[in-house]
Chains A and B, each alone.
Chain A
Amino acid sequence: MRNYENLVIVKPTLTAEEIQSSIKAIEEVITSNGGEIATTDSMGMRKLAYPIEKNERGYFHVIYYSVAPSAITEIERKFRINEELLRFVTIKYDTNREIKAWNGLVEKAQKKAATPAKTEAAPVVESEATTEAPVATEAPVVEAPAATEAAAE
């Protein structure tokens, strides 16, 4: 198992529910290929630095997960087929230094996702964010996008 991070940009033309469902589908691609999602971080609707397929904006979503290296080609192939995705960037965290940074990033994203409920952050991180993380982060993941939508409106 190796640690990875995926940034996906979803088309801005979809409605809020469609964006959420497509993100769910993306996460399912990872889990169905044996990946364990540590945490997710939605950066929300942002302006793109340059137009992609004539879109000026995009919905940014970051997924931290660990998966066997051989599954990455399959995950990326699925992403390429998906027409709701404007762009995806897969980053590998391999060396000790990078794994440390990955743990730090996961911790930061979890804190951001669950700012009101700070209690679960500490034990999850100590268990290397692999075993408990998918269960623990499921609830805030659903809540966080809803909160951002409310803020956007």
Chain B
Amino acid sequence: MAEKRKYKKRFCKYCESKVDFMDYKEVGALRFSLSERYKIMPRRLTGNCKRHQDMISVVIKRARAAALVPYTVTRKQVITQPFENLR
């Protein structure tokens, strides 16, 4: 009965702060939903709700097209400058 919870109860960070619109030019705000290889983090790990996950994925893709966020990073780039330009 006292089965221990493996994970914390997940909540959507964007719902919490009532985000209505995301700007692709504010790159620092996108970091939360990017992995260290700049992949879009899945909803099951970040706890985002569907609505905000849809928003963030569109915004990240726009930022990639605008060369604000890389599409991928090679191993060399990961070691030399992790998240260097996202600040």
Partner-B contacts on A (CB < 8 A): 7, 9, 43, 47-50, 52, 58, 62, 86-87, 89, 91, 97-98, 100-101, 104-105
A interface SS class? strand
How many residues of chain B get a CB closer than 8 Å to chain A's CBs? 15
Are B21 and A98 interface neighbours, CB within 8 A? yes
CA distance A38 to B1 in the complex (A): 62
Partner-A contacts on B (CB < 8 A): 20-21, 23-25, 62, 64-71, 85
Are B70 and A89 interface neighbours, CB within 8 A? no
Are B20 and A101 interface neighbours, CB within 8 A? yes
CA distance A50 to B20 in the complex (A): 29
CA distance A53 to B76 in the complex (A): 21
Q: Give 8 A-B pairs besides A49-B68, A91-B24 with Cβ atoms closer than 8 angstroms.
A: A50-B67, A86-B67, A87-B66, A89-B62, A91-B62, A100-B20, A101-B23, A104-B21
